[in-house]
Protein backbone atom coordinates (compact mmCIF):
# COMPACT_ATOMS: atom_id res chain seq x y z
CA UNK A 1 0.00 0.00 0.00
CA UNK A 2 2.97 2.28 -0.41
CA UNK A 3 1.43 3.54 -3.62
CA UNK A 4 -0.99 5.74 -1.72
CA UNK A 5 1.41 8.61 -1.48
CA UNK A 6 1.81 8.76 -5.20
CA UNK A 7 -1.89 8.71 -5.93
CA UNK A 8 -3.10 11.57 -3.81
CA UNK A 9 -6.06 13.17 -5.47
CA UNK A 10 -7.35 16.51 -4.39
CA UNK A 11 -10.35 18.35 -5.75
CA UNK A 12 -9.48 21.24 -7.97
CA UNK A 13 -10.51 24.43 -6.15
CA UNK A 14 -11.98 25.68 -9.37
CA UNK A 15 -13.88 22.79 -10.93
CA UNK A 16 -13.76 20.26 -8.09
CA UNK A 17 -12.39 17.56 -10.31
CA UNK A 18 -10.16 15.19 -8.33
CA UNK A 19 -6.69 16.07 -9.43
CA UNK A 20 -3.38 14.42 -8.84
CA UNK A 21 -0.74 16.72 -7.47
CA UNK A 22 1.99 14.38 -8.58
CA UNK A 23 3.95 16.20 -11.21
CA UNK A 24 1.17 18.74 -11.51
CA UNK A 25 2.65 22.13 -12.24
CA UNK A 26 -0.73 23.74 -11.75
CA UNK A 27 -1.57 22.29 -8.39
CA UNK A 28 -3.76 22.70 -6.52
CA UNK A 29 -5.63 23.22 -9.75
CA UNK A 30 -6.22 20.54 -12.34
CA UNK A 31 -4.97 22.54 -15.25
CA UNK A 32 -3.59 25.85 -16.36
CA UNK A 33 -7.08 26.83 -17.40
CA UNK A 34 -8.47 26.48 -13.92
CA UNK A 35 -5.54 28.22 -12.37
CA UNK A 36 -5.95 31.13 -14.74
CA UNK A 37 -9.65 31.31 -14.11
CA UNK A 38 -9.13 31.32 -10.39
CA UNK A 39 -6.54 34.05 -10.51
CA UNK A 40 -8.78 36.01 -12.83
CA UNK A 41 -11.66 35.62 -10.45
CA UNK A 42 -9.61 36.95 -7.61
CA UNK A 43 -8.33 39.89 -9.58
CA UNK A 44 -11.83 40.79 -10.68
CA UNK A 45 -13.12 40.34 -7.17
CA UNK A 46 -15.61 37.75 -8.29
CA UNK A 47 -14.58 35.87 -5.24
CA UNK A 48 -16.25 37.41 -2.28
CA UNK A 49 -15.01 36.35 1.08
CA UNK A 50 -18.16 35.98 3.13
CA UNK A 51 -18.16 38.44 5.95
CA UNK A 52 -19.07 37.38 9.39
CA UNK A 53 -22.81 37.33 9.78
CA UNK A 54 -24.03 40.28 11.69
CA UNK A 55 -25.30 39.52 15.10
CA UNK A 56 -29.01 39.80 15.13
CA UNK A 57 -30.76 42.04 17.58
CA UNK A 58 -31.92 40.16 20.59
CA UNK A 59 -28.59 38.59 21.31
CA UNK A 60 -27.48 41.98 22.47
CA UNK A 61 -29.97 42.01 25.31
CA UNK A 62 -28.13 43.30 28.31
CA UNK A 63 -30.76 42.40 30.82
CA UNK A 64 -30.97 46.01 31.80
CA UNK A 65 -33.90 46.71 34.05
CA UNK A 66 -34.17 43.11 34.97
CA UNK A 67 -34.82 44.01 38.57
CA UNK A 68 -37.02 41.82 40.58
ZN1 LIG B 1 -10.08 22.42 -12.42
Neighbours of ion ligand 1 (CB under 5 A): 12, 14-15, 30, 34
| pLDDT per residue rounded down to tens, the chain (68 residues) | 555 555 789 999 999 999 998 889 999 999 999 999 877 766 666 556 667 777 666 666 666 666 67
Ligand 1 centroid, distance to 39 Cα (angstroms): 12
Q: What is the model's pLDDT at position 32? A: 93
CA 41–ligand 1 middle distance (angstroms): 13
Residue 33: predicted pLDDT: 93
* Separation of alpha carbons 57 and 42, rounded Å: 33
Confidence (pLDDT) at 49: 60
How far, in Å, is the centroid of ligand 1 from the Cα of 45? 19
Amino acid sequence: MDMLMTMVLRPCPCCRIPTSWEGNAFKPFCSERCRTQDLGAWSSESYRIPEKPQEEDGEGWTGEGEGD
